[in-house]
Chains A and B, each alone.
Chain A
Amino acid sequence: QVQLVQSGTELKNPGASVKISCQASGYIFTTYGFDWVRQAPGQGLEWMGWISAYNGNTKYAQRFQGRVTMTTDTSTSAGYMELRSLGSDDTAVYYCAHLDPNNRIDYWGQGTLVIVSS
């Protein structure tokens, strides 16, 4: 059974960076990729980007280009998402999500709340 366990709540000052981890288990890590999706309070889902756990290829949503970096560590079966230059509008729950062979999200992490406030 696929499981994704994310790191805990983060409180950051404006202008800082945050790096969230996503620990995967229950499948061969390098087989599939991850999406990262965020959800601001009371708002909808926003796709941030994708990373292949096989070769590390990435594709980022245009609005996050230059500000986000997604990586994986195959030795520990973990994915990471770093977002820089945080502003108050980056306050959100951030999800990692497992992609099946057809590139659809079938499993989600529990979410990581990032609060950006001075």
Chain B
Amino acid sequence: EIVLTQSPGTLSLSPGERATLSCRASQSVSSSSFAWYQQKPGQAPRLLIYATSNRATGIPDRFGGSGSGTDFTLAISRLDPEDFAMYYCHHYGSPRTFGQGTKVEVK
């Protein structure tokens, strides 16, 4: 079983600031099977990044993903008010699993 551990649990930032979210896998995973999702209260998750660094359709370029092996990062260059939400990393290889989430909240 692959365990994804996200850090920090909560990130308190102001609009316009840069956010850096981390996800560490318990064993090396394929970069082609790694994604990030955003979830707002009462909504289903939305795909942001797939294959580590590719933005999904309609995702603004302030979102960027990077990483390899066991360490992956989601960066939001300048936080927009609509970016304050939960973020989950996801390995969609076998076995599939999610991280426990990072909350990006307004400072």
Which A residues have a C-beta under 8 Å from some C-beta of B?
35, 37, 44-47, 50, 59, 61-62, 95, 102-106, 108-111
Contacts and interface: CB of A to CB of B under 8 A. Distances in A.
Which DSSP category, helix, strand, loop or mixed, fits chain A's interface?
strand
A46 B96 CA distance: 9
Interface of B: 1, 32-33, 35, 37, 39, 44-45, 47, 50-51, 56, 86, 88, 90, 92-101
Contacts of A104: 33, 35, 47, 50, 92
B92 A103 contact: yes
A40 to B, nearest CB: 12
A7 to B, nearest CB: 15
A109 B45 CA distance: 10
Contact of B44 (A35, A50, A61, A109): A109
A46 B98 contact: yes
Given A44-B88, A104-B35, A108-B45, 9 more contacts: A37-B98, A44-B86, A44-B101, A45-B45, A45-B101, A46-B98, A104-B92, A106-B47, A110-B44
B1 A62 contact: yes
B3 to A, nearest CB: 12
A110 B101 CA distance: 20
A118 B5 CA distance: 34
B62 to A, nearest CB: 21
B20 to A, nearest CB: 19
A35 B96 contact: yes
A60 to B, nearest CB: 10
Given A44-B88, A45-B88, A105 B47 contact: yes
A95 B89 CA distance: 17
A104 B95 CA distance: 13
Given A44-B99, A44-B100, A106-B56, A59 B44 contact: no
